Amino acid sequence: MDNPRPKFQVISLTEAAAARVREILAQADKPVQGIRVGITKGGCAGMSYKVDYATEIKPGDEVVEDKGVRVVIDPTAVLFLLGTEMDYKVDKLSAQFVFNNPNQTSACGCGESVAITPAAKPMGAEAH
């Protein structure tokens, strides 16, 4: 029997992000599987990150378990998010998830949208 190669984790969470996700999931008004992270077209730089409840896990979704929370990634976003660290920042004027993405090539001045180049899929990485 072959030893399966460890699966490459598409996204990781900081402790602050995991704590905030736990708070969000505890407040859900319906059963959820975790949070869903994706990319949508729009904004002046071309793309925006999207975070929502994951009410189901669909075929092709990438599921990441990190620090006790489940993050479901839309299959169309996987190559854009490879190697990304999801953080949660609070300052005087805002509180928000922040994506430290090595594939991001630029961002608009207001910080609402980004330009992202898809990563090359690492050898042995499988999207499920």
The answer to whether the pTM exceeds 0.85 is: no
> What are the residue boundaries of the structural domains of the chain, listed by start?
11-116
Closest CA to 103 of 126, 121, 128, 125: 121
- Over residues 79-122, the pLDDT tens digits come to 888 899 999 999 888 888 988 888 777 665 555 554 556 666 55
CB 48 within 8 A of CB 96: no
Helix locations, 1-100, DSSP H:
15-26, 78-81
Round to whole Å and give the CA distance between 26 and 124. Answer: 35
Task: Return the C-alpha torsion angle 23, 26, 32, 35, nearest 10.
Answer: 0
Number of H helices, E strands in the chain: 2, 9
Round to whole Å and give the CA distance between 47 and 116. Answer: 7
Look at residue 102 in the predicted model and tell me its pLDDT: 83
- Whether 48 shows a pLDDT value over 80: the answer reads yes
Query: For the structural domain made of 11-116, what CATH number should be given?
Result: 2.60.300.12
Residue with tokens 């793309």: 47
